[in-house]
Amino acid sequence: MKYYYLLLLSAFIGFVACSNEKKVDERSRSVETVLPDARNEVTVSTLQSTDFNHELISNGKLSARRYVDLYFESAEPIASIFVKNGDRVVKGQKLAELSTFRLQNKRQQANDALESARLSFQDVLIGQGYALEDSAKVPDDIIRLAGVKSGYNQALSQYELAQFEEQNAILIAPFSGVVANLFAKDFNIASISEAFCTIIDMGSLEASFTVLESELSLIKQGDKVEITPFALSDIKVESRITEINPIVSAEGMVQVRAAVNNNGKLFEGMNVRVSVHRSVEKQFVIPKSALVLRSAKPVVFTLVDGKAYWNYVKIGLENADYYTITEGLKESDIVITSGNINLAHEAPVTVIAND
């Protein structure tokens, strides 16, 4: 009976082993028949020397070249305010005025004191032996002595100050622009230490941004710049570099300014994305999709006789869509631009399109 069971067990083990061998054999035949035909589909382009539109990205802030805080010269009640924040004004336009009663009275008193001092001035000259009609011939030291002794010089200064304060009781726009930071109210006392308002020339906006010291060779005055406000990402404004500050900061940064053509939607102090464009001649340019990493090194596959061959390359410049290649490729190489993620060296490929 034991012998019978042993025989049965041996037969079962033999059957299972044969079955497994059959499956392995079928799988092997399947791999052998499928793998040679599993060709990657790729797109390619022929490498040519061409102009490259270099793009340098930075963050910056908008500011106006013409920006002024306006102050009253006297602490008098504000009689009238003629504008509000956001109003556009033209050069010479009246913005606000103070009550002028005290200022007029002060100027009149100063004028009377000046007339009195003038008489004293003449008396001093006569006392020095000079007639009034000969004042043009009086030596300078005698004139200075008479001016101080009579109080004429001090009275003249007081009169000019009173006249200046009265004239500046009316605040005038020094140039055309937009009113900002106006917080004063009618009938309140004007502050002489705080600005009454600010005038900003929105037509003179410029973007201030920084570039790395190593990127200085890639920019110059006149280069085209594209400005995009972070708050208004659908707006793009063209501008030009106007100024490169010839000082490198401790952090290795250089300050750059670019004039901005305001489209009416940009404001002083806006944070913006700055993209500097410059055309660089005779570069080998590939799309970014053509570059893959192998062992943490940049590789570009080229097509040779229906197979993909990888090439270690050295990257030069880049923009949003393309790289320039400085080493590893030569002109007229057929570069694989897509379908290269899982490619191996000398893997057979099928070209489905040319870029």
| pLDDT given for residue 132 in this prediction | 62
Overall fold of domain 71-99+169-200: OB fold (Dihydrolipoamide Acetyltransferase, E2P) (2.40.50)
**CATH number given to 57-65+203-280:** 2.40.30.170
Q: DSSP string of 131-165?
A: -GGGGGGS-HHHHHHHHHHHTHHHHHHHHHHHHHH
Structure confidence by residue, pLDDT tens digits, 188-201:
999 999 999 999 99
Rounded to an integer, the average pLDDT of 242-260 is 93
How far apart, in whole angstroms, are the C-alpha atoms of residue 256 and residue 57? Answer: 13
| pLDDT given for residue 8 in this prediction | 47
Alpha carbon of residue 78 to chain centroid: 39
* For the chain, domain boundaries: 37-52+283-354, 57-65+203-280, 71-99+169-200, 101-167
Q: Are 339 and 289 in contact (CB under 8 A)?
A: no
- Orientation angle between helical segments 152-167 and 140-150, nearest 10 degrees: 70
**Neighbour order of strands in the sheet with 78-81:** 78-81, 94-98, 170-172
Q: Is 60 helix (H, G, I), strand (E, B) or coil?
A: strand
CA dihedral 92, 96, 97, 98 (to 10 degrees): -150
Structure tokens at 330: 């030569």
Rounded to an integer, the average pLDDT of 207-230 is 89
| pLDDT given for residue 290 in this prediction | 94
Percent of the chain scored above 90 by pLDDT?
54
How far apart, in whole angstroms, are the C-alpha atoms of residue 74 and residue 95? Answer: 16
The 10 Å CB-count burial string (b at 16+, else e) for 146-170 is bbeebbbeebbebbeebeebbebbb
Mean pLDDT of the chain: 85
Structure tokens at 228: 């995009």
Burial of 47 (0-12, 13-18, 19+ CB in 10 A): buried
pLDDT band at 81 (very low <50, low <70, confident <90, very high): very high
Structure confidence by residue, pLDDT tens digits, 3-60:
444 444 455 555 444 454 444 444 434 333 344 456 789 999 999 999 888 788 899 9
Q: Is 73 helix (H, G, I), strand (E, B) or coil?
A: coil
Q: Which amino acid is at 21?
A: E
pLDDT band at 223 (very low <50, low <70, confident <90, very high): confident
Torsion sign (Cα): 122, 125, 131, 135: negative
| pLDDT given for residue 28 in this prediction | 39
For the domain made up of 37-52+283-354, the CATH class stated in words is: mainly beta
**Neighbour order of strands in the sheet with 88-89:** 67-70, 197-200, 177-180, 88-89
pTM above 0.75, yes or no: no
Is 90 exceeded by the pLDDT of residue 1?
no
Integer distance in angstroms from the first to the last C-alpha of the chain?
Answer: 78
Structure tokens at 129: 């032996």
